[in-house]
Amino acid sequence: MVTVIKIGGNIIDNPAELEQFLTDFSKIEGPKVLVHGGGKSATKMAQNIGLEPQMIEGRRITDAPMLDVVVMIYAGQINKNIVAQLQAKNNNAIGFSGADGNLIQSVKRNHPTIDYGFVGDVKQVNTNLLKTLLDNHIVPVFCAITHDKDGQLLNTNADTIASELSIALSEIEEVTLTYCFEKQGVLQDSEDDSSVITAINEELYLKLKEDKVIHSGMIPKLDNCFNSLSRGVQKIKIGHHKMLQNPDVLHTTITL
């Protein structure tokens, strides 16, 4: 069993929450992979230097100056901070972008109406190298940067990276995928943290999206969930990191 976990949202921006998450994560036994975002930190840094971030349906537009920012924040500051903290918790972590070891190769997004800039869609995962790392008790920590094999770094949705890594690994191992953020799960009412939808299948998801209950960044997250389940991932959960050590904590389970 391989455990793939993606963290984002306010966990990364809150040192106390991040510390507690990494403590919980460090206690997970067996092979595991961590994927992190960092969009809020990148947005803050961009604004500090006079750039105005642009988002469309939860996805970031990445021009050349913004790419410099996200590489610096994702692959540098956030990634190495997480790796250092995991090492302090006796997890032998190594930080990766998709370019390292050609672990995740992407293609620049070609959208018919929107120019996303230097945004990548995952083309392939180097499953053999990833398995070698896990077999040698390495904990890979992936940031949301990939490459196109022609020397270009690409900003890539961290939820998608977690999904594609899970799909690749599911060809050789049983995989569980967990998305951790500051909420208890997918909410019926974004203003009510207790309104967790405990189970979502694809039919319900489409209705909730049509009714605008699910919107913005939750759309690509759930799109990735259903893509993962349809391609071999065994189990997917969304919720607060407290569920890592206490399965009875309220959360959302995604099913086909």
- Residue 216 placed within a domain: no
Asked whether residue 100 is domain-assigned, the answer is: yes
Q: 109: how many CB neighbours lie within 10 A of its CB? A: 18
Q: What is the pLDDT of residue 58?
A: 66
| 3-class DSSP state of 217 | coil
Does the annotation flag 39 for ligand binding?
Answer: yes
Residue 192 lies in a domain: no
In total, how many domains does the chain have? 1
Q: Which domain holds residue 129?
A: 2-181+240-248
Q: Is residue 30 marked as binding? A: no
Q: Residue 151 is part of a domain; what is its CATH number?
A: 3.40.1160.10
Half-sphere exposure of 206 (CA within 13 A, CB side): 4
For residue 203, what are its two tokens?
């039919």
Distance of alpha carbon 180 from alpha carbon 60, whole angstroms = 20
Residue 230 belongs to a domain:
no
Which stretches of the chain score pLDDT less than 50? none
38 labelled binding-site residue: yes
- The full length of the chain comes to 256
Classify residue 70: in a domain, yes or no. yes
| Amino acid present at 82 | I
Q: For position 215, what pLDDT does the model report?
A: 85
What pLDDT is stored for residue 61 in this prediction? 92
Cα separation, 11 vs 13, in Å, equals: 6
Question: Is residue 250 within 8 Å of residue 198, measured between CB atoms?
Answer: yes
For residue range 162-217, list pLDDT tens digits in order. Answer: 999 999 999 999 999 999 998 999 999 988 988 999 999 999 999 999 999 998 87
Q: Is residue 235 part of a domain?
A: no
pTM confidence score: 0.94
Confirm whether 58 is domain-assigned.
yes
Query: Residue 175: inside a domain, yes or no?
Result: yes
The reported pLDDT for the residue numbered 191 is 86
Backbone angles phi, psi at 246, to 5 degrees: -140, 95
Give the closest residue to 74 by CA, choosing from 98, 54, 56: 98
Q: Look at residue 116 in the predicted model and tell me its pLDDT.
A: 95
- The string over 38-50, giving b where at least 16 C-beta atoms fall within 10 Å of a residue's C-beta and e elsewhere, is bbebbbebbeeee
